Amino acid sequence: MARIRHIGIRNFRCIQKLDWFPSAGINCLIGPGDGGKSSVLDAIDLCLGARRSAPFTDADFHALDVTAPISISITIGDLSDALKSIDTYGAYVRSFDPATGIIDDEPEAGKETVLTIELSVGSDLDPVWTLVSDRARAQGLSRNLTWGDRMRLSPTRIGALAESNLAWRRGSVLNRLTDEKADTSAALASAARDARKAFGDLADAQLGETLKIVADTARELGIPAGEKLKAMLDAHSVSFGGGTVALHGDDGIPLRALGVGSTRLLVAGLQRKAAQESSVLLIDELEHGLEPHRIIRLLGSIGAKESPPPIQAFLTTHSPVALRELRGDQLWVLRKLAAGHQLDLVGAGDPIQGTIRAHPEAFLSHSVLVCEGASEVGLMRGLDLCFAAQGATSLNARGVALVDAGGVNKIYGRANVLRNLGFRIATLRDDDVQPDVGEEALFTFQDGRLFKWAAGQALEHAIFLGVSDAAVHQLLERAVELHGEELIDEHIRAASQNALALATCRGPVTPWSRQTLATAAKGKKNAWFKTVSWMEDAARDIIGPDFQNMSADFRGSIAALFDWCHGV
């Protein structure tokens, strides 16, 4: 079962340069859209696919620069005896050291024997496939894999035309399951002759008027078409090529008529069975057409939970379901840097795996705001809804994910996982309880952005001390709606040591009543707005619309948060 050890891409579409040593099992590429994930899969397919030609245009060259040739090189290990044959490929075998990632042109003892296939495309748009070897080049030798070996190495691509794998056509997964072949030529030729005769006998009744018009026109123009035309099947129009024999259900309906999701799921399962012949699978947007439970089933069918992995798969996804199902050592974040594209392994262990399980959407975003708790997440969501209704660009449109850290002591555990992978990241926390000073200093030193409320303030204090008098009353009445007058009155009396009550706070707003309400709202038991939905609704309906009437400090804090989210 051949495995890809190294992929090198130069000047292909949005990728100017990429060098990658994928793992032997699942390699799921994640990251923001339009980052080049699909182009990586296309590069693998174009280089290893069993094809004699491929269509290229100027748009396939990086930055449309046709003077810089496209080069895609793939190094293959775990070779079969046929691929290590000295007689066939002796001048091209190389060595690979997995510990260092060094590919040496000379085979060496103790290192893996590999072959490197290169696809190059110049300004003439003509693709050329060759095996890479300095030794062979020095001797004036040049060759590609044999056609049979190319067929065996060719990856199975599950995409828009996955149903093509449900027929016995060249390169399909069905042809790789066993050595059985169907001899269709004689049977189909006879059937075609019978079909031509039968159709001709019926055609006069079905197409008689059209036939008469054609015959009359031909006669008028002096075209020797005969006196009585017939509609018959054209002998040259019946093709007996690849795909003539296809899978059908017991009801006679071809399986290619299955839904998109079912077809992709079936082909992925068949690829597992055919792994001895072709062990590389390509799936772009693996969630396409699949419900969550069938996404999990697809991943299971290709060995996502197995060790050692049965096949090598290259996937792309934007599905949080898929991320939760995969391990961090099966996920790669694709990033574009100044020096070229780079793929970083997410990695396993805590807090990485916990962050993936709890907040997979963060790994699919451009920017991430890690919030201390649920109320901060709710505040940002509600303000975003309010501002978007007034014409601002939403956080979703900006590709911003909101992550609940679950407390100030966990905020940098979550944040650093994402920052280490190159995500643009910020944190939002209260200031009444302090995090680890060293962790926060390291985070900000390494380009992490910190947002917090005024000195000593929790979110509830920032809100009740910062909004207008009218908004204070609205928030109080919203709390009553959520929890009832009795509980709210009890909280206010406890916070003020019985100096204030609900009735008092419904009167004129004072600095003391603001402070009391903030303390009461923050109570550890039955806090007024301590869920995402409660705070989201309050922010959308009350805090956001009060933006212009807030204190300068509170308004400035919110404005700074949204400026960062919008990339300002």
Q: What digits encode the pLDDT tens for the residues 526-541? A: 899 999 999 999 999 9
| More confident: 116 or 200 | 116
Which run of H or E residues covers position 337? strand 331-337
- pLDDT at position 525, please? 83
Neighbours of 335 (CB within 10 A): 17
Nearest to 61 by CA among 19, 20, 14: 14
- pLDDT at position 545, please? 98
CA atoms lying within 13 Å on the CB side of residue 489: 7
Report whether 303 contacts 28 (CB < 8 A): no
- pLDDT tens column, 105-161: 988 888 999 999 999 999 999 999 999 999 999 988 899 999 989 988 889 888 655
Q: What is the mean pLDDT of the chain?
A: 87
Report whether 370 contacts 66 (CB < 8 A): no
Report whether 169 contacts 243 (CB < 8 A): yes
Interstrand relation of 112-121 and 94-97 (parallel, antiparallel or unpaired) = antiparallel
- pLDDT at position 455, please? 94
65 pLDDT exceeds 60?
yes
CA atoms lying within 13 Å on the CB side of residue 222: 0
393 pLDDT exceeds 90?
yes
- pLDDT at position 301, please? 86
Q: Which two tokens stand for residue 327?
A: 């391990």
Q: How far, in Å, CA of 461 to CA of 556, rounded?
A: 15
Average pLDDT over residues 213-236: 58
Q: Which of the four pLDDT bands, split at 50, 70 and 90, describes residue 289?
A: confident
Q: Is the dihedral of CA 405, 410, 413, 419 positive or negative?
A: positive
33 pLDDT exceeds 90?
no
Residue with tokens 């080069």: 71
- ∠ at Cα 481 (460, 373), nearest 5°? 30
Nearest to 18 by CA among 2, 29, 3: 29
Residue with tokens 């044999």: 146
411 pLDDT exceeds 50?
yes
Residue 29's DSSP bridge partners are: 316, 332
| More confident: 519 or 176 | 519
- pLDDT at position 156, please? 85
Average pLDDT over residues 293-316: 91
- ∠ at Cα 363 (360, 365), nearest 5°? 115
Share of the chain above pLDDT 90, in %: 64
- pLDDT at position 507, please? 96
Interstrand relation of 280-283 and 312-316 (parallel, antiparallel or unpaired) = parallel
Interstrand relation of 127-131 and 102-104 (parallel, antiparallel or unpaired) = unpaired
- ∠ at Cα 287 (281, 290), nearest 5°? 110
Report whether the peptide linkage leading into residue 351 is cis, meaning its omega lies within 30 degrees of zero: yes
Residue 261, classified by CB atoms within 10 Å of its CB into exposed (0-12), middle (13-18) or buried (19+), is middle
Is the backbone of residue 140 left (phi > 0), alpha (psi -120 to 50) or beta?
left
| More confident: 433 or 250 | 433
Q: Which two tokens stand for residue 378?
A: 């709710």
CB within 8 Å of 237: residues ≥ 6 apart? none
Q: Which of the four pLDDT bands, split at 50, 70 and 90, describes residue 475?
A: very high
Question: Per-residue DSSP letters for 283-331?
Answer: ESSTTTT--HHHHHHHHHHTTTT-SS-SSEEEEE---HHHHHHS-GGGE
97 pLDDT exceeds 70?
yes
Report whether 352 contacts 359 (CB < 8 A): no
Q: Which of the four pLDDT bands, split at 50, 70 and 90, describes residue 225?
A: low
14 pLDDT exceeds 50?
yes
Report whether 42 contacts 316 (CB < 8 A): no
CB within 8 Å of 420: residues ≥ 6 apart? none
379 pLDDT exceeds 80?
yes
Nearest to 88 by CA among 178, 138, 44, 150: 150
Q: How far, in Å, CA of 155 to CA of 315, rounded?
A: 12
Q: Which two tokens stand for residue 21?
A: 């040593």
Q: Is the pTM of this model over 0.85?
A: no
- pLDDT at position 223, please? 47
Average pLDDT over residues 500-516: 97
Q: Which two tokens stand for residue 322?
A: 């898929």
Across 62-66, 80-84, 395-399, 511-515, least confident range:
80-84
SS3 state of residue 495? helix
For residue 349, give the DSSP letter.
Answer: S
Q: Which of 108-117, 180-189, 360-369, 537-546 has the highest mean pLDDT?
A: 537-546
Report whether 428 contacts 561 (CB < 8 A): yes
Q: Which of 27-36, 275-284, 300-309, 476-485 has the highest mean pLDDT?
A: 476-485
Report whether the peptide linkage leading into residue 308 is cis, meaning its omega lies within 30 degrees of zero: yes
Domains parsed from the chain with CATH numbers: 3-23+33-153 (3.40.50), 185-237 (no CATH), 365-565 (no CATH)
CB within 8 Å of 474: residues ≥ 6 apart? 541, 542
Work out the end-to-end distance of the chain between its first and last CA atoms, rounded to an integer number of angstroms: 50
Report whether 368 contacts 443 (CB < 8 A): no
Q: How far, in Å, CA of 185 to CA of 24, rounded?
A: 41
Residue with tokens 């036939």: 211
